[in-house]
Amino acid sequence: MQIDTQKDTNISAAPPKKSLSPWAIARKKFVQNKLAMISFIFLVIVGIISFLAPYITTADITRVNIADMSLEPSSKHWLGTDKSGRDVFTRLIYGGRISLLVGLSCTIFVIFIGTLIGSVAGYFGGAVDNLLMRFTDFILNFPFLVFVIVINAIFFGKVSGLWVLIAVISFLYWGGIARIVRSKILAEKENEYITAAISIGCSPAKVIVKHLLPNVLSTIIVQATITFASMIVIESALSYLGFGVPQETPSWGNMLNSANEPDVLQYKLWIWMPPALIITMTILSINFIGEGLKDAFNPKSRR
């Protein structure tokens, strides 16, 4: 992405007395990146509206209302109603709650497992590394979508669907993150400050958490944004196929499910277009934020 490069020369033009810390520089670069900031604000607004859903509309999301079936958008129903007479706008913001919750929780779990395994494997090396990485390879060799669908089908109906979905997705997805973190840690641990930390008697846990992780944190943050975007795609794709969030729970993917009916797809745009657009815009803005972060953490990029 090429976003006004000439503008922000003031950092180098007037050198401040005390030079900024890497984090402060990154923050400054990010805030000055217009596209990333707009995306960030958009995402925050979507997030706030979604999480405040119960306070914004009081309509019952589950009740089927035969009288209001497939109404076009009007002042009463801003985005119309779906085939069961449920208000599309209400479902959209409740759906955002579920989709963002699933996306966020999966991201947190994936990053946590991936960082843990990657940093332990990278720091200790040798047999530990070998064992953990073979396990990672094993997980990575499963075709992801196929196994998520199969495992979900096993648990379907037995346990509450949402957390099963999150657990299954997280368990099958962390491999890539573990590999990236491991390679970063491998490079970082060769530095002398790590030898120094070990020689003054820091425990391995302390070396990893206090000295190694802060130095690979920028990579992890960038990976986390990419993962967040993928998770939202995966959740909605699975729900669209009917193997994700339980049908009665509104999520963006479940709402799109109705686009499977040719009649809805062709003539009732208001039912499937809003979730399709909001998913795309959310992914787009997360990608822009990720790109902005990558750029902000890159010491070579001049802004």
Partner 1 sequence: MLKYSFRRILGMIPMLFLISIVVFTLAKLMPGDGISGEIDPRNTDPQYIAEMREKLGYNDPMPQQYFRWIDNFVQGDFGKSTRFKIPVADVISERLPNTLMLGITSILITYILAFIMGSYAGRKPYTFGDNFIGGLNYLGLSIPSFIAGVFAIYLFSFTLGWFPSNGSVDIGVTDGTLEYWLSRLHHVLLPAIVLGLLSTASYTQFLRNDIIENSRKDFVRTARAKGTPERKIYNVHILRNSIIPLITFLGFDLVAIISGAIITETIFTYPGLGQLFLQSVGTRDYPVLMTLTMLFSFLTLIGNLIADVLYGVVDPRIRLD
Contact positions toward partner 1, by CB under 8 A? 1-2, 137-138, 140-147, 149-151, 153-154, 156-158, 229, 233, 236-237, 240-241, 243, 256, 259-260, 262, 265-266, 269, 272, 276, 279-280, 283-284, 287
Please list, residue by residue across 253-279, b when 16 or more beta carbons sit within 10 angstroms of its beta carbon and e when fewer do. Answer: bbbbbbbeeeebeeebebbbebbeebb
CA max distance for the chain: 75
* Closer by beta carbon to partner 1, 194 or else 259: 259
Distance, CA of 169 to CA of 148 (rounded, Å): 6
Nearest distance, CB of residue 152 and partner 1, angstroms: 9
- Residue among 109, 114, 115 nearest 139 (CA): 114
Taking the complex as a whole, how short is the minimal distance between the CB of residue 12 and partner 1, in angstroms? 22
Encoded amino acid at 195, one letter: T
Nearest to 151 by CA among 167, 139, 137, 138: 167
**Least separation in angstroms between CB 128 and partner 1:** 20
| Count of alpha carbons within 13 angstroms of residue 147, beta-carbon side | 14
What's the rounded Cα separation, in Å, for the pair 276 and 255? Answer: 9
* Residue 87 or 291 with smaller CB distance to partner 1: 291
Tell the smallest beta-carbon distance from residue 112 to partner 1 (Å).
23
Q: Which is nearer to partner 1, 2 or 10 (CB)?
A: 2
Question: Which CB sits closer to partner 1, 37 or 233?
Answer: 233
* Two structure tokens written together for 182: 């491991």
Q: For partner 1, which is the closer residue by CB, 10 or 266?
A: 266
Structural contact between residues 292 and 36, judged by C-beta atoms closer than 8 angstroms: yes
CB 35 → partner 1: shortest distance, Å? 10
